């Protein structure tokens, strides 16, 4: 059947349409993406503003129309940290569900980590052994590890690239003080809140998903000729100063970086480096499957019962 998965994230509204059935690999058909950056539309109380809600509705309207034009039979819709943490998130969800007859669900950070882990496990298979999976989103960082399809440990931290950029780095040139505060905050959060089970993971395979990691791997390939499907810790240490020295306009001209994400990539790189350092990871494999694919796989599993 033809399924659509609608991801209402912190940075984008992303619809992915696939042809899928239980036991088969989902085959991508089309996708539709709108960059929104919902976290830029929060008022002083942490609620999404009327302007932000209007743009969100407009983006979802376009995604639904795209899905219908491709004869999508079912739309699996979910929202992550931006709506999850907004003061009026539940009200917004109810409005969207009524308007479009959807079942848009808010995923917790732990659910994001678990579903992404499932996708990575299915992509790599059982021979990959014990996995440690890392995903940097716009609002949060997810980590999970385990030997099965369900991780032994799954956790989410408020260390997303868009969130940290908004809180620590002003527009234009990156201020030295803001950069230092950002680095200290990320390091202290991970050092103080990382569960012991995750820190002593004994993983066989280290895997990264998300646009942030794909972009960093692509930059490592662009500047150093590294494998674009992997990211080495030593290379990342070389990437960060180069990215910091550049202006937003210069970053936006790099491979895989849109104007909207030109500044976020610095915060994303700092989070990636801190995670790899805290967990003693020398290299990450980039997995093309992540949360959206995990949602599809989980739905197919449920419908096969």
Cα dihedral: 288, 294, 296, 297 (round 10): 100
Per-residue pLDDT, 260: 77
- Selection from 251, 227, 295, 241 nearest residue 273 by Cα: 241
Q: Are 294 and 27 in contact (CB under 8 A)?
A: no
Tell me the CATH architecture of domain 110-286.
Answer: 2-Layer Sandwich (3.30)
Provide the 10 A C-beta neighbour count for residue 17: 25
Mean pLDDT score of the chain:
95
**Confidence grade of residue 201 (pLDDT, cut at 50, 70, 90):** very high
- Selection from 177, 102, 111 nearest residue 144 by Cα: 111
Fold held by 2-106: Nucleotidyltransferase; domain 5 (3.30.420)
Fold matches, 2-106 and 110-286: yes
**Confidence grade of residue 172 (pLDDT, cut at 50, 70, 90):** low
Locate 83 and state its tokens.
């709506």
Does the pLDDT at position 173 exceed 70? no
Does the pLDDT at position 305 exceed 70? no
Domain ranges of the chain: 2-106, 110-286
Per-residue pLDDT, 101: 95
Per-residue pLDDT, 294: 97
Locate 169 and state its tokens.
């780095």
Per-residue pLDDT, 171: 58
Mean pLDDT over 118-129 rounds to: 97
Residue 51 CB-density burial (10 A; 0-12 exposed, 13-18 middle, 19+ buried): exposed
Phi, psi of 104 (to 5 degrees): -70, 120
pLDDT digits (tens, 9 = 90+) for 219-274: 999 999 999 999 999 999 999 999 999 998 999 999 989 887 898 999 999 999 99
Alpha helices by DSSP H, listed for the chain, are 50-69, 81-85, 89-100, 109-124, 161-168, 176-193, 196-199, 211-224, 233-245, 248-251, 264-278, 291-304
Mean pLDDT over 142-157 rounds to: 98
């Amino acid at each position: 059947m033809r399924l659509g998965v609608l991801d209402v994230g912190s940075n984008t509204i992303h619809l992915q349409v696939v042809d899928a059935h239980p036991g088969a690999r989902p085959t991508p058909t089309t996708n539709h993406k709108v960059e929104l950056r919902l976290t830029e539309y929060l008022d002083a109380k942490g609620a999404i503003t009327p302007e932000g809600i209007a743009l969100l509705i407009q983006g979802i309207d376009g995604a639904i129309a795209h899905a219908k034009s491709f004869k999508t039979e079912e739309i699996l819709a979910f929202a992550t940290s931006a709506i999850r943490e907004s003061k009026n998130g539940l009200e917004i969800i109810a409005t969207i569900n009524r308007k479009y007859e959807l079942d848009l669900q808010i995923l917790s950070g732990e659910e994001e980590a678990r579903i992404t882990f499932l996708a990575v496990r299915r992509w790599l298979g059982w021979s990959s052994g014990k996995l440690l999976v890392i995903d940097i989103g716009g609002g949060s960082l997810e980590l999970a590890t385990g030997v099965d399809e369900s991780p032994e440990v799954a956790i989410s931290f408020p260390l997303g690239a868009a969130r940290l950029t908004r809180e620590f780095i002003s527009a234009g040139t990156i201020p030295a003080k803001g950069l230092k505060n950002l680095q200290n905050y990320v390091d202290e959060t991970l050092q103080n809140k990382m569960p012991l089970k995750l820190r002593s993971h004994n993983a066989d395979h280290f895997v990264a998903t998300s646009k942030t990691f794909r972009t960093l791997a692509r930059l490592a390939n662009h500047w150093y000729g590294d494998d674009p499907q992997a990211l080495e810790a030593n290379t990342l240490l070389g990437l960060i100063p180069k990215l910091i020295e550049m202006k937003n306009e210069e970053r936006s001209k790099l491979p895989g970086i849109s104007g909207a994400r030109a500044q976020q990539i610095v915060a994303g790189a700092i989070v990636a480096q801190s995670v790899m350092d805290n967990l003693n990871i020398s290299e990450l494999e980039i997995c093309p499957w992540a949360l959206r694919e995990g949602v599809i796989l989980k739905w197919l599993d449920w419908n096969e019962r």
